[in-house]
């Protein structure tokens, strides 16, 4: 069997590839594709890396083989980037999703298709507790693009063109590297940079509530999503992955507990209305129970997420 990861050059794509190579899923080829050449995460003869532009007509069809059994569609541009570049956001976040689904339909109907969505599909006036069936009311172009992608995956699944699984990802913290163009980039930088002894800016109020997951738990849940049976999932395939609800202040309290008070001196609060207008509309209380019943994992404490990041860098 061939497995494809789009967005294979990104942090999650690389981390997912490493996990799959160590996981007892039987496959012959793991194809990493991205608009820049993906790196090889581990030396393994099953890895193939390709630099392709999936938005080019006909390109997705060239990737799918008779033995393609699973696609993880992670390729996207992030929230603030999609908000600033309207045309590019639609091209990458929606058009490519449609073209991939069409390629599955034409080349090999029924491929298992795991789509990375986001809690950004929610926004505005929300109930106190959001669940899988809460109406999607996004307040950003990125959220709207992801919501439309969800609907496409569900419809192609209904028609049996793919076997879809839509994962609404919590905000992932703590990511390694440098800040990116996600509106939620600060969620990692307010922990990562102080741990490196560097100054950073928090653009939101410390009372802001967030819905988080660690990188390891997120990757584990991607792989689990590929294994869950169609019967367990039912007809509607959009799933809110389990998350941990915390405020920014609680995150910083955890940082102090793990790394000491001096780390907090490196953080400055400078409100950014553009970021607040996006992140402030996202839910921070979501019903975890349906996903937990399906066997998805959850982080228990934010201190553990910080420790996970520290261990990953050692």
Alpha-carbon distances of 70 from 8, 9, 75, 110, 139, rounded to whole Å: 14, 18, 15, 9, 31
Please choose, from the candidates 172, 243, 173, 251, the residue with its C-alpha nearest in 3D space to the C-alpha of residue 207.
251
Active site residue 122: no
- Report residue 91 as tokens: 């091209």
Q: HSE, CB side, 13 Å, CA atoms: give it for residue 151.
A: 9
Please choose, from the candidates 301, 297, 278, the residue with its C-alpha nearest in 3D space to the C-alpha of residue 288.
297
**pLDDT at site 181:** 74
Alpha-carbon distances of 269 from 58, 131, 190, 266, rounded to whole Å: 47, 32, 10, 10
SS (H, E, C) 172-200: ECCCCCCCCCCCCCHHHHHHHHHHCCCCE
What does the alpha-carbon distance between residue 247 and residue 264 come to, in Å, rounded to a whole number?
A: 15
Tokens 């599955």: give the residue.
104
Q: pLDDT tens, position by position, for the chain (314 residues)?
A: 999 999 999 999 999 999 999 987 889 999 999 999 999 988 899 999 999 999 999 999 999 999 999 999 999 998 889 999 999 999 999 999 999 999 999 999 999 999 999 999 999 889 999 999 999 999 999 999 999 999 999 999 999 999 999 999 999 999 998 888 788 899 999 999 999 999 999 999 999 999 999 999 999 999 999 999 999 999 999 999 999 999 999 999 999 999 999 999 999 999 999 898 888 888 999 999 999 999 999 999 999 999 999 998 86
Where residue 116 falls (left for φ over 0; alpha for ψ -120 to 50; beta otherwise) is beta
Candidates 72, 113, 122, 142; catalytic one: 142
First to last CA, the chain: 35
Interior CA angle at 89 toward 83 and 90, to 5°?
125
What does the alpha-carbon distance between residue 35 and residue 9 come to, in Å, rounded to a whole number?
A: 8
Is pTM beyond 0.85? Reply is yes
Q: At what angle do helices 248-259 and 302-313 cross, to 10 degrees?
A: 50
| CB of 195 closer than 8 Å to CB of 280 | no
- Report residue 233 as tokens: 């999932």
Please choose, from the candidates 245, 241, 239, 186, the residue with its C-alpha nearest in 3D space to the C-alpha of residue 211.
245
* Residues 69-82: b if buried by 16+ CB within 10 A, e if exposed: bbbbbbbbbbbbbb
- Report residue 136 as tokens: 């999607």
* Residues 174-183: b if buried by 16+ CB within 10 A, e if exposed: bbeeeebebb
Residues facing residue 48 across a β-bridge: 31
Where residue 61 falls (left for φ over 0; alpha for ψ -120 to 50; beta otherwise) is alpha
- Report residue 145 as tokens: 């693009």
What does the alpha-carbon distance between residue 183 and residue 181 come to, in Å, rounded to a whole number?
A: 6
- Report residue 186 as tokens: 């600060």
Please choose, from the candidates 74, 163, 169, the residue with its C-alpha nearest in 3D space to the C-alpha of residue 118.
169
**pLDDT at site 263:** 96
């Amino acid at each position: 069997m061939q497995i494809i990861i789009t967005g294979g050059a990104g942090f999650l794509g690389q981390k997912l590839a490493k996990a799959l190579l160590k996981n007892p899923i039987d496959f012959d080829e793991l194809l990493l594709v991205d608009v820049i050449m993906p790196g090889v995460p581990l030396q393994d003869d099953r890895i193939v890396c390709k630099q392709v532009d999936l938005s080019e007509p006909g390109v997705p069809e060239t990737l799918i083989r008779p033995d393609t059994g699973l696609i993880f569609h992670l390729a996207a541009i992030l929230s603030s980037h999609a908000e600033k570049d309207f045309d590019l956001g639609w091209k990458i976040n929606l058009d490519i999703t449609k073209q991939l689904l069409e390629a599955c339909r034409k080349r090999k109907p029924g491929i298992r298709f795991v789509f990375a969505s986001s809690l950004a599909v929610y926004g505005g006036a929300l109930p106190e507790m959001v669940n899988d069936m809460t109406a999607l009311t996004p307040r950003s172009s990125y959220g709207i693009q992801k919501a439309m992608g969800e609907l496409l995956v569900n419809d192609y699944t209904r028609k049996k063109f793919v076997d879809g699984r839509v994962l609404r990802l919590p905000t992932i913290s703590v990511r390694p590297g440098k800040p990116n163009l996600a509106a939620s980039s600060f969620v990692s930088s307010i922990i990562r940079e102080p741990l490196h002894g560097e100054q950073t800016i928090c653009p939101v109020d410390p009372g802001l509530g967030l819905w988080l997951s660690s990188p390891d738990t997120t990757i584990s849940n991607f792989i689990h999503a590929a294994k869950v049976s169609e019967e367990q999932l039912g007809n509607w395939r959009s799933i809110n992955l389990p998350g941990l609800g915390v405020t920014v202040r609680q995150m910083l309290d955890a940082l102090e507990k793990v790394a000491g008070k001096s780390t907090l001196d490196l953080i400055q609060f400078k409100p950014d209305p553009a970021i607040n207008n996006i992140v402030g509309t996202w839910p921070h209380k979501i019903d975890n129970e349906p996903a937990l019943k399906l066997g998805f994992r959850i982080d228990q404490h934010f201190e553990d997420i910080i420790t996970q990041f520290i261990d990953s860098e050692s």
